């Protein structure tokens, strides 16, 4: 079948999805959409990666488009103003590069380099303007993307975003220690940590500038809204674990729901894949139910005042994009070169990363 009805490439392609990863309900009931800014988005994010020196020029040229980072965000934050989507997408591309640096620091046993980066990211998050010209391109690129995100909504949103991302940095530190020490966390501990390393609440926070307004606590903490947001993110994290399991087993990773199930629940590899798949399917089924409740809640926010109507529209936009996340994540995992492990020369070393071992500078 066509991977994307409105293809992001010049020719439609057929994607062969293994049965263990195929989700017919996503293909049938979660139609994929794409922000009309996508072609320009791809071009500008590629240029930003080069300008900020986040990837070597040869790797940007060979791999950036095929990694589909822009496709993922353009399929998620529909309705966002172009400049908001650009800032989110550059930040997302940065996040993937950061994840790769973290992985290489683990693989090459560079604890001092990781500790230094962790400290610098915390500092840049609190004062991005002072880190725009930092010697480490990863820190400078982070400062640039955060400063741009901070420009769209009030200080209260910025503080929430910062609070959530400080937690993400610390979760990456716990993952670093687990991986370097060979600790495979039990299932419940892993699930709690995964919500942070996948940055569940960051991607949810970013729905708000896309919708054009900060949502009040009473809306964000409403059970139906919060549950719908969590399910969309859990689906993404667990489907990612399902798709990346071969890559992470090849790289001796310890952070994957399947690996935790095998180690602590005594499941075989086949049973673990089936269990992760069951959880993924459960997210989809429950989301459809909770989505209806959340939409009724959104309708009730329209109290006849201009502000009530605007808030109701914004909440419905956020809920629509939670739904878009399912299809965008699904197709991303089958189109992005990030998961084509079988085509790599070394299954434990992604070809798009800078794999130099001299990290303790």
Give me the active site residues, please: 95-96, 198, 338
Judge whether 245 and 258 are in contact, CB under 8 Å.
Answer: yes
Task: Give the span between the Cα atoms of 161 and 206, in whole angstroms.
Answer: 9
Judge whether 255 and 192 are in contact, CB under 8 Å.
Answer: no
Q: Which residues of 13-23 are buried (b: 16+ CB within 10 A; e: fewer)?
A: eeeebeeebeb
Chain-centre distance of CA 35, in angstroms? 17
Which residues have CB under 8 Å from 43's CB, separation 6+? none
Q: Which SS3 state, helix, strand or coil, does residue 353 take?
A: coil
Task: Give the span between the Cα atoms of 50 and 93, in whole angstroms.
Answer: 12
Judge whether 84 and 208 are in contact, CB under 8 Å.
Answer: no
Task: Give the span between the Cα atoms of 162 and 150, in whole angstroms.
Answer: 10
């Amino acid at each position: 079948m066509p991977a994307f009805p409105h293809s992001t490439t010049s020719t439609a392609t057929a994607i062969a999805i293994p049965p263990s990863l195929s989700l017919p309900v996503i293909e049938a009931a979660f139609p994929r959409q794409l922000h009309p800014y996508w072609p320009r988005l791809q071009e500008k994010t590629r240029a930003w990666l080069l300008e900020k020196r986040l990837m070597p020029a040869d790797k940007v040229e060979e791999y950036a488009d095929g990694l589909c980072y822009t496709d993922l965000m353009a399929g998620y934050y529909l309705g966002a103003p172009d400049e908001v989507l650009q800032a989110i997408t550059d930040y997302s591309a940065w996040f993937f590069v950061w994840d790769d640096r973290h992985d290489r620091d683990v693989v090459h046993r560079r604890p001092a380099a990781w500790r230094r980066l962790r400290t610098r990211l915390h500092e840049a998050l609190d004062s991005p303007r002072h880190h725009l010209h930092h010697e480490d391109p990863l820190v400078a690129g982070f400062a640039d993307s955060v400063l741009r995100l901070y420009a769209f909504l009030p200080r209260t949103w910025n503080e929430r975003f910062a609070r959530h991302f400080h937690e993400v940095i610390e979760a990456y530190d716990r993952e670093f220690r687990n991986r370097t020490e060979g600790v495979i966390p039990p299932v419940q501990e892993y699930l709690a940590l995964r919500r942070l390393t996948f940055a569940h609440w960051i991607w949810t926070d970013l729905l708000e500038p896309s919708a054009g307004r900060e949502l009040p606590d009473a809306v964000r903490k409403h059970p139906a809204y919060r549950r719908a947001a969590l399910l969309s993110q859990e689906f993404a994290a667990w489907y990612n674990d399902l798709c990346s399991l071969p890559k992470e087993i090849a790289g001796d990773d310890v952070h994957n729901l399947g690996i935790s199930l095998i180690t602590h629940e005594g499941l075989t590899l086949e049973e673990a894949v089936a269990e992760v798949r069951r959880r993924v399917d459960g997210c989809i089924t429950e989301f459809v139910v909770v989505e209806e409740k959340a939409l009724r809640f959104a309708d009730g926010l329209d109290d006849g005042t201009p502000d009530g109507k605007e808030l109701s529209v914004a909440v419905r936009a956020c809920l629509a994009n939670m739904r878009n996340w399912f299809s965008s994540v699904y197709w991303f995992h089958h189109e992005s070169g990030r998961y084509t492990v079988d085509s790599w020369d070394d299954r434990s070393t992604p070809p798009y990363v800078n794999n130099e071992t001299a990290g303790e500078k």
